Amino acid sequence: MEENLDDVFKVCSHSRLRDPLQRRGMEIKRRWLLEMLNHYGGCTKVAYLDGGPVAQLLYYPEEAIPYVENPRRDVIHLHCVYNLFPEARGKGVASALIRDLLEEAERGMEMLQGRRCRFIVAKPFNTGEGIPLEAFYASKGFHWGVGEMYLEISASYETRKLGEYRPLSEDEGRALIFYSPLCEYSYPFAHRVREIIWEVKPDLPITLIDMWRQPEEASKRYGEEIIVNARPIRAWWGDREGFKEEVMRALEISLESD
């Protein structure tokens, strides 16, 4: 796998390979991929068309997530499936990756020490390109569970109890932005979120946190990705004005003062 590791980035970051923030995100993901390879074996699959990489799939066992308490045994998280070029869509390359993952899950997986996967879970998100992941997963037999989609393999689906963030005094008067090493876009996105928050309050202290490197910080905030003044921000940062309005409410800044 190490010999074709760069192909993963050629799929996901093909148009941003020279961007400094993106390259930093790629370095963070590369380190994570190598650590996963050493501990669990391969966790990504790449599809090729006409000799070049065109799609990738990323997955890992739930027990590998350092900030999850009481992980479900032999459960695989399907993080994403991404098909790069429009001309490659509709040719079945993403479906082939899913099919390969399901065959491995049925017969026994290296990352599960040869055991069969019990069920696969996924939290779909949309990139605005091609078919939405939710629709794609549904076409492969996934169903909605509690906060995630699932596909049963060798056992029935089990929910995982989810905690809820309660305001922490240490989070007051500052912002925390969590990013993940699983996606090379996560780190640059965290920087963009920080810039938007600073547009609302330039002097607000903001800390960026790798949720896999500092799992204790992520676990006590129950997976919230953005917290401002001890309040979780759930508006999508791509909706700049809507995001800023929610930040202003968290900071108790009058909307009329903007």
Kind of pairing, strands 143-144 and 75-83? unpaired
For residue 131, what pLDDT is reported? Answer: 77
Right CATH number for 2-152 from 1.10.1050.10, 3.40.718.10, 3.40.630.30, 3.30.70.1450? Answer: 3.40.630.30
Q: Are 211 and 218 a contacting pair, CB within 8 Å?
A: yes
For residue 93, what pLDDT is reported? Answer: 86
For residue 256, what pLDDT is reported? Answer: 46
Give 143's contacts (C-beta < 8 A, 6+ positions apart): 149, 150, 151, 157
Q: Which residue has the tokens 């909706």?
A: 239
**158-185 residue pLDDT tens:** 999 888 999 999 999 999 999 999 999 9
State how far the Cα of 14 lies from the Cα of 7, in Å rounded to an integer.
10
> Tokens at residue 103, please?
């065959």
Right CATH number for 169-257 from 3.40.50.720, 3.30.70.260, 3.40.30.10, 3.40.50.2300? Answer: 3.40.30.10
Q: Which of 122, 44, 53, 104 is nearest to 83 (CA)?
A: 53
Kind of pairing, strands 143-144 and 149-152? antiparallel
Give, in order, the Cα–Cα distances in Å from 122 to each of 174, 201, 226: 31, 35, 21
**129-148 residue pLDDT tens:** 667 899 999 999 999 999 99
For residue 85, what pLDDT is reported? Answer: 61
Secondary structure of residue 33 in the 3-state scheme: helix
Q: What is the pLDDT along the chain (258 residues), one digit of tens a residue?
A: 566 788 999 888 888 888 999 999 999 999 999 999 999 999 999 988 888 898 999 999 999 999 998 999 999 999 999 886 666 666 788 899 999 999 999 999 999 999 999 999 999 987 666 678 999 999 999 999 999 999 999 999 999 988 899 999 999 999 999 999 999 999 999 999 999 999 999 999 999 999 999 999 999 999 999 999 999 999 999 999 999 999 999 999 744 444
Residue spans per domain, the chain: 2-152, 169-257
169-257: same fold as 2-152? no
What DSSP line would sit under 155-200, residue for residue?
Answer: S-------------GGGTTSEEEEE-TT-TTHHHHHHHHHHHHHHH
